Structure 1
Amino acid sequence: MLPVTADDHLPGPVDRAPLPGGPVAVLTNPTAGRGRYRALLPRLLDGLAAAGRPVRLLPASGPGEAEAACRAAVADGAGALVAIGGDGTVHQALQAVAGTDVPFGPIPAGTGNDFALDTGFPADPLAAADVIASALRDGRRHTVDLARMSGVDGTERWYGAVLAAGFDAIVNERANRMRWPRGPRRYDLAIVVELARLRPRRYTMRLDGVPHEVDAVLVAVGNCPTYGGGMRICPDADPTDGLLDVVVAGRVDRRTLIRVKPRIYQGTHVSHPLVRSYRARTVELAAEGITTYADGERSLGLPVTISAVPGAVRLLR
Structure 2
Amino acid sequence: MPQAPKLPLLYNPASGIATKDPDALLRPLPKDLRDRVDPIPFGPPWDFEPAIAQAVRAEGPLLVWGGDGTIHHAAKALIGRGCPVPLGAIPGGSGNGLARGLRTPLEPAGAIQRLLEGRELRMDLPSLDGEPFLNVCGMGFEAAVAHRFDAMSGRGFGTYARACWQLWRTWPATALAWDADLAPMPDPAGRLDRLRQAFKVPEAALPEQAWSLCFANLPTYGSGLWIAPGADPTDGCLQWATLARPSWFDLLAEAPTLFREGGHTPLRHEGRLRHAILRLERPLPWHLDGEPVAERDRAELTIEPRAFRMQVTGACPWQ
Count of residue pairs brought into register by the alignment: 280
Partner letter of residue 173 of structure 2? Answer: P
* TM-score using structure 2 length: 0.73
CA offsets, 1:206-239, max 9 Å, x none?
3228995611101011000000221001111111
Unmatched tracts of structure 2, length 5 or more: 184-204, 313-319
1: distance between equivalents of 2:157 and 2:209? Answer: 30
Cα deviation, residue 195, structure 1: 2.4
CA offsets, 1:141-163, max 9 Å, x none?
2222232222xxxxx43222221
Question: 1:162 aligned to 2:125?
Answer: no
Cα deviation, residue 285, structure 1: 2.8
Question: 1:195 aligned to 2:168?
Answer: yes
Percent identical pairs in the alignment equals 26
Aligned pair in 2 of structure 1 residues 48, 295: CA closer, same or farther (>3 Å)?
farther
Aligned pair in 2 of structure 1 residues 132, 249: CA closer, same or farther (>3 Å)?
closer
* Alignment check: 8 A CA contact 1:270 1:276 kept: no
1: distance between equivalents of 2:100 and 2:310? Answer: 12
Cα deviation, residue 109, structure 1: 2.3
State the secondary structure of the residue aligned to 1:128: helix
2: distance between equivalents of 1:61 and 1:52? Answer: 23
* Alignment check: 8 A CA contact 2:97 2:221 kept: yes
Instruction: Tell me which residue corresponds to 2:315.
Output: none
Query: Higher relative contact order by CA 8 Å / sep ≥ 6: 1 or 2?
Result: 2
Aligned pair in 2 of structure 1 residues 106, 29: CA closer, same or farther (>3 Å)?
same
For residue 121 of structure 2, the aligned residue among 120, 142, 153 is: 142
Instruction: Tell me which residue corresponds to 2:106.
Output: 123
* Alignment check: 8 A CA contact 2:228 2:239 kept: yes
* Alignment check: 8 A CA contact 1:206 1:212 kept: no
Cα deviation, residue 192, structure 1: 3.0
State the secondary structure of the residue aligned to 1:234: coil
Instruction: Tell me which residue corresponds to 1:61.
Output: 43
State the secondary structure of the residue aligned to 2:69: helix
Partner letter of residue 190 of structure 1? Answer: A
Cα deviation, residue 167, structure 1: 1.0
CA offsets, 1:173-224, max 9 Å, x none?
2343456x88655544433332231321112233228995611101011000
Cα deviation, residue 84, structure 1: 0.7
Q: C-alpha root-mean-square deviation of aligned residues, in Å?
A: 3.3
* TM-score using structure 1 length: 0.74
For residue 104 of structure 1, the aligned residue among 87, 91, 94 is: 87
Aligned pair in 2 of structure 1 residues 183, 110: CA closer, same or farther (>3 Å)?
closer
Aligned pair in 2 of structure 1 residues 231, 243: CA closer, same or farther (>3 Å)?
same
State the secondary structure of the residue aligned to 2:167: helix
1: distance between equivalents of 2:110 and 2:152? Answer: 37
Question: 1:173 aligned to 2:147?
Answer: yes
Question: 1:86 aligned to 2:67?
Answer: yes
Cα deviation, residue 281, structure 1: 1.5
2: distance between equivalents of 1:267 and 1:52? Answer: 33
2: distance between equivalents of 1:71 and 1:214? Answer: 43
1: distance between equivalents of 2:138 and 2:158? Answer: 21
For residue 32 of structure 2, the aligned residue among 45, 50, 54 is: 50
For residue 241 of structure 1, the aligned residue among 228, 235, 260 is: 235
Cα deviation, residue 42, structure 1: 5.3
Question: 1:132 aligned to 2:139?
Answer: no
State the secondary structure of the residue aligned to 1:34: coil
Partner letter of residue 141 of structure 1? Answer: E
* Alignment check: 8 A CA contact 1:48 1:55 kept: no
Aligned pair in 2 of structure 1 residues 196, 248: CA closer, same or farther (>3 Å)?
closer
Question: 1:278 aligned to 2:271?
Answer: yes
* Alignment check: 8 A CA contact 2:124 2:306 kept: yes
2: distance between equivalents of 1:207 and 1:270? Answer: 25
For residue 52 of structure 2, the aligned residue among 74, 78, 88 is: 74
Aligned pair in 2 of structure 1 residues 49, 219: CA closer, same or farther (>3 Å)?
farther
* Alignment check: 8 A CA contact 2:239 2:272 kept: yes
* Alignment check: 8 A CA contact 1:169 1:291 kept: yes
* Alignment check: 8 A CA contact 1:198 1:254 kept: no
Aligned pair in 2 of structure 1 residues 121, 74: CA closer, same or farther (>3 Å)?
same
2: distance between equivalents of 1:27 and 1:203? Answer: 40
Instruction: Tell me which residue corresponds to 1:207.
Output: 180
